[in-house]
Chains A and B, each alone.
Chain A
Amino acid sequence: MNYIFHFGDMWNARDEFIAGALMTLRLSALAMIASLFIAILGALARTSGPKPLRLLVAAYVEIIRNTPFLVQIFMIFFGLPTVGLRLDANEGALIALILNGSAYTIEIVRAGIENISHGQVEGALALGLHRLQTFRLVVLPQALRIIVPPLGSQFILLMLNSSVCSAISADELTSAALDVQGRTFRAFEAFIVAAAIYFALSLLFSTAFAAIERVAFGKRITR
């Protein structure tokens, strides 16, 4: 191998990488928050809504989970403008990430809700707790224990998945690497730097989420 690595150009492009990483974080965080809201509504509809609504949510989840994210992005980014909704790449990416993330998050929240046995709620009510207390003291703490750990992994998956948004040139980290690569012709270095940033971010978040779980739930429950 007689290739000489050249990271000087990467250092000069550091502002682009930082801007890209920040956009990646922004897209991921916004998408995660929005999908969490959608997921709570979706999971409630899926578990206790009227039958047509339940089927609708189930269909949505299955369609999203069984088709590639890239195709979903293309459909949104190229499709929506044909019905008069003009989007820039970042907006298209965000919508795609929300729609995709929601499907997975609905399943996570649903698992948390379904895991609490009805007997516990009845027991709490029989003990004289009123509805709100039952929810706050019995249902919520147990549901959160089940929901929060996979939500952390879901956020990291979402962040890594957002690199696919470079296919429509959203201004995130992978696009930044592609730009730097196009300008400097240092493909390998540009992608190594981007990969290292993603890796550092996923390591950072998984450590942070583990710490949060430890503080919130005490000893980590083994699954």
Chain B
Amino acid sequence: MRSFNAGDLTYLLLAARWTVVLSLIAFAGGGLVGLVIALMRVAEARPVRWFAIGFIRLFQGTPLLLQLFLVFFGGDMIGVPLGAWLSVILGLSLNAGAFLGEIWRGSIQAVPNGQIEAARALGLHYGQRMLRVVAPQALRTAIPPTVGFLVNLIKSTSLAAIIGFVELTRAGQQLNNATFRPFLIFGLVASVYFVMCWPLTIAASRLERRLALAYKR
């Protein structure tokens, strides 16, 4: 056992970079999956909608940790060992995709139907309708809950520690094993997460309030 020193603090902060990188990549991946799921969820063909509903239910009805395990070991099973890094990215993206898909579905459906009918009457095809008519209006309602979800996503990346990927939480575990100062180390780890998450939480609730005001008027 040794004492906690300045080098350890640097180690934690450097590991926090991986939390940020992981969150950003998972958000990009989740955004892509979520967009597809949201569009499928509001599609006209029933089987397509059912698939999206099933996907969302499955990922929202099972623990994220098990989803990560399943991706990690599932890769091995089909003979494509993914490793901790890729499995965590894939697992988090699929999970985030389900949650973002459900959030964005709500935003799409909040756009009045008349708008879509009018766009169709004007002869705009699907892509134009979605991109030019639905998206600009849906974006307004989508942003606050999406920012709120980012907080969840950042916190979720801590589960990568259990798979063995060295990010902030895992780095904290390693340091705790070496120095055995749990309150100090996990307190620091928690503070770093807090510094990342709290501004987003505040932003999300401000945006939400502003949106509510806009709708009241």
- Interface residues of A, Cβ cutoff 8 Å to B: 1-3, 62-63, 65-72, 74-75, 78-79, 82, 156, 160-161, 163-164, 166-167, 174, 177, 187-188, 191-192, 194-195, 198-199, 202-203
Which residues of chain B are near A198, meaning CB under 8 Å?
61-63, 66
B141 to chain A, nearest CB (A): 14
Q: Which residues of B contact A3 (CB under 8 A)?
A: 77-79
Residue ID in chain A nearest B194 by CB atoms: A66
On whether the beta carbons of A164 and B65 are closer than 8 Å, the reply is yes
Bound form: Cα–Cα A22–B77 in Å: 29
Whether B155 contacts A67 by the Cβ 8 Å rule is: yes
Q: Tell me which residues from 181 to 195 in chain B have a Cβ below 8 Å from any Cβ of chain A.
A: 182-183, 186-187, 189-190, 193-194
Other-chain residue from A68, A163, A187 in contact with B63 (beta carbon distance below 8 A): A163
Interface size class of B (residues with CB under 8 A): 35 or more
- Chain A's closest residue to B74 (CB) is A188
Contact B70 A191 (CB under 8 A): yes
B70 & A195 in contact (Cβ 8 Å cutoff): yes
Query: With contacts A66-B194, A68-B193 known, is A195 near B67, CB below 8 A?
Result: yes
A74 to B169 alpha-carbon distance, docked (Å) = 9
When the two chains form their complex, are residues B66 and A194 in contact, meaning their CB atoms are under 8 A apart? yes
Chain B min CB distance to A40 (Å):
23
**B161-217, CB < 8 A from A:** 161-162, 169, 172-173, 176, 180, 182-183, 186-187, 189-190, 193-194, 197-198, 201
- Cβ of B61 and Cβ of A66 under 8 Å apart? no
Which residue of A67, A164, A199 contacts B62 across the interface (Cβ within 8 Å)? A199
| In contact, B66 and A195 (Cβ under 8 angstroms) | yes
CB < 8 Å: which of A70, A156, A177, A187 contacts B76? A187
Task: Check if B77 sits within 8 Å of A188, measured CB to CB.
Answer: yes
A163 to B64 CA separation, bound complex (whole angstroms): 9
Which residue of chain A has the shortest Cβ distance to B184 in the bound complex?
A79
Q: With A62-B201, A78-B176 given, is the CB distance from A68 to B187 under 8 Å?
A: no
B158 sits at the interface (CB 8 A) = yes
Chain A hits for B158, CB < 8 A: 68-71
Task: Quote the shortest CB–CB distance from B128 to chain A (angstroms).
Answer: 31
Q: Which residues of B contact A199 (CB under 8 A)?
A: 58, 61-62
A79-B183, A188-B77 given as contacts; is B197 within 8 A of A67 (CB)?
A: yes
B69 at the interface (CB under 8 A from A): yes
Of all chain A residues, the one with the shortest Cβ separation from B161 is A70
Name the interface residues of B23-74: CB closer than 8 Å to any CB of A.
58, 61-67, 69-70, 73-74
Are A70 and B61 interface neighbours, CB within 8 A?
A: no
Residues in B whose Cβ lies below 8 Å from that of A74: 169, 172-173, 176, 182, 186
Flag B73-103 by CB within 8 Å of A: 1 or 0 each. Answer: 1101111000000000000000000000000
Return A90 CB to nearest CB of chain B, in Å: 17
* Residues of the A chain whose Cβ atoms lie less than 8 Å from the Cβ of B180: 82
Closest 10 CB pairs of A and B: A163-B63, A68-B158, A78-B182, A66-B197, A187-B73, A75-B186, A68-B155, A79-B182, A202-B61, A67-B190
Q: B58 to nearest A CB, angstroms? A: 7
Distance of A69 Cα from B159 Cα, bound (Å): 9
In the complex, the answer to whether B169 meets A192 with C-beta atoms within 8 Å is no
Q: Which residue of A lies closest to B201 (CB)?
A: A66
Q: Say how far A199's CB is from chain B's closest CB, in angstroms.
A: 5
- Tell me the smallest distance from the CB of A127 to a CB of chain B, in Å: 30
B142 at the interface (CB under 8 A from A): no
User: With a CB–CB cut-off of 8 A, which chain A residues contact B66?
Assistant: 163, 174, 177, 191, 194-195, 198
What are 28 A-B contacts with C-beta separation under 8 Å? A1-B77, A2-B79, A3-B77, A3-B78, A62-B201, A66-B151, A67-B190, A68-B158, A68-B159, A68-B193, A70-B161, A71-B172, A71-B190, A74-B173, A74-B176, A74-B182, A75-B187, A79-B186, A82-B183, A161-B63, A167-B162, A187-B69, A187-B73, A191-B73, A192-B70, A195-B67, A202-B61, A202-B62
